[in-house]
Amino acid sequence: MRGAHGTLRRSGRRAGALVLAVALLSGCGISGTEPIEAGGPGAIPVPTGPPWMLVFLESAEGALIPVYRERPPKGRITRPDQPMDEALQALFEGPTPMERDTGLRTALPRLPGAGPTGAARVDQRIAVKLPFRIASLSDTAVWQTICTAVYAVDPTGWTEVMLSGIDGTTVPTMCDAEVDSRRSGQRPELSSMGPGELGRWADDPDRQTVPPG
């Protein structure tokens, strides 16, 4: 995504998925632009910031799908991480009835009122604290969380994200909006380091290829 009405990168094979996203957006009362034809890369304008937020769900075919949600009516944003907290909470509450009717689902455990226990910036990165083992999440669930977190606060999508659970922290990773959750070997490595230490490891030009732990 870029700008006030950012652009989300995607390939031609995702055109059908984005048609669905545009339909859901239009159902919220916003006019979506015409999707490009399948067969080549492209971008689609999407609203960013108040009063909208973006969450990533899963299609019946296993692809990541960006879905636009209206922010909860909690007044104005009073702190930098508030949009990220709201987007992650919405993600962990699962698809809405309308989203389920269109075939969308989630690979995350449903935790209404008890989703991520904290999300914050750590050395120019995003750290999301989760109340369970990261290893227990599927690849799709990991990418849903990473992509939802980054696009909540960074419309360019380039900020790296670390997920911290009771079993460790993932290495800093950017959202890959083109990720195919049916492929193996895509999820970030898990380390016993904390977010701050792991961030310093990632910034070290002489670091090992794989983080300790």
Residue 105: what pLDDT? 92
> For residue 51, is the peptide bond before it cis, meaning its omega torsion is within 30 degrees of 0?
yes
Residue 124: what pLDDT? 82
SS3 for 137-192 is: CCHHHHHHHHHHHHHHHCCCCCCCEEEEECCEEECCECCCCCCECCCCCCCCCEEC
Nearest to 131, CA basis, from 162, 94, 86, 167: 167
Residue 12: what pLDDT? 37
Residue 29: what pLDDT? 42
Residue 120: what pLDDT? 76
Q: Give alpha helix (H) positions in the chain.
A: 15-27, 82-92, 97-101, 139-153, 195-203
User: Please, what are the averages of pLDDT over each run of 10 residues along the chain (213 residues)?
Assistant: 42 40 44 32 45 85 84 58 82 90 88 63 83 88 91 86 88 73 58 64 54 55
Q: What tens digit of pLDDT does each residue of 56-108 get?
A: 998 888 888 888 888 766 655 455 467 788 888 889 989 999 888 888 999 99
Residue 199: what pLDDT? 60
Residue 62: what pLDDT? 82
Residue 193: what pLDDT? 65
CA distances from 11 to 42, 161, 172 (A): 6, 23, 24
Please check whether residue 68 is in contact with residue 96, taking contact to mean a CB–CB distance below 8 angstroms: no
What are the counts of helices (DSSP H) followed by strands (DSSP E) for the chain?
Answer: 5, 9
